[in-house]
Structure 1
Amino acid sequence: MTISSCGTQPATVAPSAERWAHLTAVPGGLRAGAGRLVVEALFRRAVQRLALRVELPDGTIFGGGADDPFAPLMVLHDPRAFATRIGTTGLIGFGESYMMGEWSAPDPAAVLTVLAADLRQLVPAPLQGLRSLVLPGQPARTRATTAGARSNAAHHYDLSNDFFALFLDETMTYSSALFDQLTPAPVWADLATAQRAKIDRLLDAAEVGAGTSVLEIGTGWGELAIRAAQRGATVHSITLSARQQRLALARVAEAGLTDQVTIELRDYREVDGRYDAVVSVEMIEAVGYEYLPSYLTVLERALATGGRVALQVITMPHDRMRAGRVTHTWVQKYIFPGGFLPSEELLADLVSRHTDLELVDRAAMGQHYAHTLRLWQDRFTAAADQVGALGFDEVFQRMWRLYLAYSEAGFRSGYLDTLQLVLRHRGAAELDTEVTR
């Protein structure tokens, strides 16, 4: 029995023909049909080895977890469309099928965690080697050139400050928090404190205090700049998002720190001056593979003698990074155009070859991000009516829920990690020793 042999039911989402015209019709033709047959066979075979339950429209349940009522449940509402989209555009089609309501799950992150943990089982090795030939490549328009980076940032961060406020905490911090403990699982009331703890750890690592000059690459909504200024530092923060800049400036003014904090619309490549500390939180992911050497060189050039760079970065395993570097992903298409997640190995190599910086501290906090994302997901889902009132329709909301679930699954499975890295100029340790003698 194939996954499409049990009949189908109409997709549960009616997309706007204007906004989502490219999704209204399931791909057709010989290539799409052949791809569907391949996906049907591979999906059934792979799922039989995974701790999942997959439910078909007629109520049939299969998968390695079919007899386990606690195994994550994936419901295929339109198996034929599901398989056709994947057979045509791979994981982009997988995400688009969710957006269109052709599959669902009571807990999408739980389903995706199982899939991410056993990614190699889903596609046989010989077919994995063909991905660059059959899957779409990254469009040139999303390259993170100076102009492209501004467009990419606007696509995501200029959606609406009110939109992000619906699921972020009072700090408006859009990056991993650092909780005191993960057991029992953190709750919403813990999040703002954990976000400030994350920021404070970075500022401590960069040795930010009274009189410190700080360069922040990627302002967000201003919480890090505010906390640095509250320590007595002067902060020069740069962003590519006009909407973030406006709200961040308002928050700085409300905190009475306008004399200590400047926030400019500026690309990192346009930075001049030298600073005692350079801090950047989850911005490197927007730089793009080809521009990483330039970004790291800017960090080196901007750092004063004896200063420190403190970064928070999302990473992925080196082999998976290399395998997916040239293909276009669902996240890149819909969420972060031009985004690229480096491996820790790649960063170490580029730092060594292109700068005189050296790593002096490293902390991993991937599971903290998984919990952060779960709290955002719960908040976002509960705010569905308010999100809709801002003009974001059901397809958009399903897209965003999948993005949050996909990200949570990546961290829970170990497919992704979050690191805080501290760098300094090589030889700085010797200079410190000379000063203290």
Structure 2
Amino acid sequence: MTIHEPQPPTRAVPRPNEGVWPGLGTVPRSPVKGRIAEGLFRRAVRSLPVRVEIGDEVLGLGGPTMRIVRPDAFFRRLGNDSKIGFGEAYMVGDWTADDLPGLLEPFAATLSTLIPPALQRLARRWVEARQPAEEANSLEGSRENIHRHYDLSNELFQLFLDETMSYSAAWFAPGSDDLVAAQERKIDGILDLAGVAADQHILEIGTGWGGLAIRAARRGARVTTITISAEQAALAEQRIAAAGLADRVQVLLRDYREARGSYDAVVSVEMIEAVGEKYWPTYFAALDRLLKPGGRVGLQAITMPDDRMRVARNDYTWIHKYVFPGGLIPSVESIERSLGDTSLHISERRSLGPDYARTLNHWNRRFQERWSEVAALGFDETFRRMWEFYLGYCEAGFRVGYLDVYQLSLTR
């Protein structure tokens, strides 16, 4: 079937600066892989509720629109490594969408079946990239991985997060779309699961920008909070001081493996995703070691189904390359398995999956609305499209249940 060359998009997308985005400006030299990818893509989208425009040709059952504006480049990137190329093609403008999360939703819903399983296994073995050894979450590797994302710019995160500076799933009250209230409700929820009360000494693993530590201190607790992000630690200390709680909260630049002491409660919100499967037993052993007898752990974790986690555990994806190096999303079952050598078990749980989709939608809209301010910080058009794809892809995953997020209470 002939592919007609489309008209140029109404807004030209600049080619990436090779000094900032090495390799992105060069289309892979893989015409055979590109033709194979094109055939598989066409076969897949015919049965999806999307509208795919390739010049004058239209594929799909109808729905959110995807416009492939540079077909040859798009299919070559896809053929070179589908788990990375699809996102990279969006970053450079090979394709566009009128509703990115809506378009990605049916792709996310059928992620395990879009490509025949036999071809998936073949691609994993011979085509797709493997996790780089340098991104393993050793003490040194973890610091570098965290630095690459969380130390991008405090000002960037301030522009699209709410005033609590919470970079994790909110928990919306019925009938409310207030993000600040939802983030405060989420924090209260995890503190309640850990049994945090006045005059307790609690440990937080993963400071973020201090929102949870501030709220725990306002309950009357003393808080030791640890992070390996120097940028986050600096702003967290400023925010804690501004809240008048510097005497109740101590911020330490320290890895969870280096934590010492004994605490009435331990809390950790969406930090386990950065630990890496190899180190999950070490992480949970640390929680067990640091918790006083009778204490509780409040853990918030993004999760995926156990069968998908087992298949994807060694994958190197677009998210790894551009957003969260070294990460792996656990399943609830893998958390339970990792707790097997500790005295801890899951005693309570609640799912916030749909709430995370709403949270991401808030962040994405705010990012778009404030793009001129983000650009003024020095971020370019390629970064804008990268961040759009990251937030949109995650929102789609939570919408369809491919991803979930749980608040868990761990007790002895």
TM-score bucket (shorter structure): over 0.9
Structure 2 residue aligned with 1:362:
349
Query: Does the Cα contact within 8 Å between 1:203 and 1:228 map onto a contact in 2?
Result: yes
Is the counterpart of residue 151 in structure 1 residue 149 in structure 2?
Answer: no
Structure 2 residue aligned with 1:289:
277
Query: Does the Cα contact within 8 Å between 1:214 and 1:235 map onto a contact in 2?
Result: yes
Amino acid at match of 2:409: V
* Displacement after TM superposition at 1:259 (Å): 1.1
Amino acid at match of 1:86: L
Structure 2 residue aligned with 1:16:
17
Trace 1:209-224 onto structure 2 (pairs within 5 A): 209-224=197-212
Structure 2 residue aligned with 1:420:
407
Structure 2 residue aligned with 1:388:
375
Structure 1 residue aligned with 2:225:
237
- Aligned CA RMSD, in angstroms, stands at 1.2
Distance 1:194 1:359 in 2: 24
Distance 2:386 2:28 in 1: 19
Amino acid at match of 2:95: W
Q: Once the two structures are superposed, what CA deviation does each residue of 1:114-173 show, in whole Å capped at 9, x if it has no partner?
A: 101012332011101123212000001110000010001110011111100110001111
Trace 1:253-402 onto structure 2 (pairs within 5 A): 253-352=241-340, 354-402=341-389
Q: SS of the counterpart of 1:75?
A: strand
Distance 2:387 2:180 in 1: 22
Distance 2:215 2:98 in 1: 39
In structure 2, which of residues 84, 96, 101 is the aligned counterpart of residue 92 of structure 1? 84
Amino acid at match of 2:60: G
Amino acid at match of 1:78: R
Distance 1:13 1:45 in 2: 31
- CA 1:142–1:207: 2 relative to 1, 3 Å: same
Distance 2:76 2:18 in 1: 20
Structure 2 residue aligned with 1:108:
100
Structure 1 residue aligned with 2:185:
197
Amino acid at match of 2:184: R
Structure 1 residue aligned with 2:54:
56
Q: Once the two structures are superposed, what CA deviation does each residue of 1:18-45 show, in whole Å capped at 9, x if it has no partner?
A: 11231111001xxx21211111111111
Query: Does the Cα contact within 8 Å between 2:83 and 2:128 map onto a contact in 1?
Result: no
Q: Once the two structures are superposed, what CA deviation does each residue of 1:45-90 show, in whole Å capped at 9, x if it has no partner?
A: 11111111001123x321122xxxxx11111111111111010011
Q: SS of the counterpart of 2:225?
A: strand
* Displacement after TM superposition at 1:12 (Å): 2.8
Amino acid at match of 2:157: F
* Displacement after TM superposition at 1:8 (Å): 5.0
Distance 1:123 1:19 in 2: 32
Structure 2 residue aligned with 1:25:
26
Q: SS of the counterpart of 2:160?
A: coil
Structure 2 residue aligned with 1:68:
none
Distance 2:257 2:27 in 1: 42
Amino acid at match of 2:32: A
Q: Which runs of 4+ in 1 moved over 3 A?
A: 8-11
Distance 1:358 1:370 in 2: 28
Amino acid at match of 1:46: A
Q: SS of the counterpart of 1:22?
A: coil
Aligned length: 408
Query: Does the Cα contact within 8 Å between 2:83 and 2:316 map onto a contact in 1?
Result: no
Q: SS of the counterpart of 2:329?
A: coil
Is the counterpart of residue 176 in structure 1 residue 169 in structure 2?
Answer: yes
Q: SS of the counterpart of 1:220?
A: coil
Is the counterpart of residue 140 in structure 1 residue 95 in structure 2?
Answer: no
Distance 2:18 2:159 in 1: 27
Query: Does the Cα contact within 8 Å between 2:204 and 2:267 map onto a contact in 1?
Result: yes
Query: Does the Cα contact within 8 Å between 2:78 and 2:85 map onto a contact in 1?
Result: yes
* Displacement after TM superposition at 1:9 (Å): 5.8
Distance 1:126 1:38 in 2: 15
Identity score, percent: 51
Query: Does the Cα contact within 8 Å between 2:100 and 2:389 map onto a contact in 1?
Result: yes
Distance 1:177 1:384 in 2: 23
Query: Does the Cα contact within 8 Å between 1:286 and 1:338 map onto a contact in 2?
Result: yes
Q: Which moved more, 1:37-46 or 1:408-417?
A: 37-46
Q: Once the two structures are superposed, what CA deviation does each residue of 1:180-210 show, in whole Å capped at 9, x if it has no partner?
A: 12x6xx54xx001100000001111111111
Q: SS of the counterpart of 2:226?
A: strand
- Where does structure 1 lack aligned partners over 5 or more consecutive residues? 66-70, 426-437
Q: Which moved more, 1:6-15 or 1:149-158?
A: 6-15
Amino acid at match of 2:234: R
Distance 1:169 1:178 in 2: 14
Is the counterpart of residue 207 in structure 1 residue 195 in structure 2?
Answer: yes
Distance 1:234 1:382 in 2: 38
Distance 1:324 1:206 in 2: 31
- Where does structure 2 lack aligned partners over 5 or more consecutive residues? none
Query: Does the Cα contact within 8 Å between 1:46 and 1:121 map onto a contact in 2?
Result: no
* Displacement after TM superposition at 1:391 (Å): 0.5
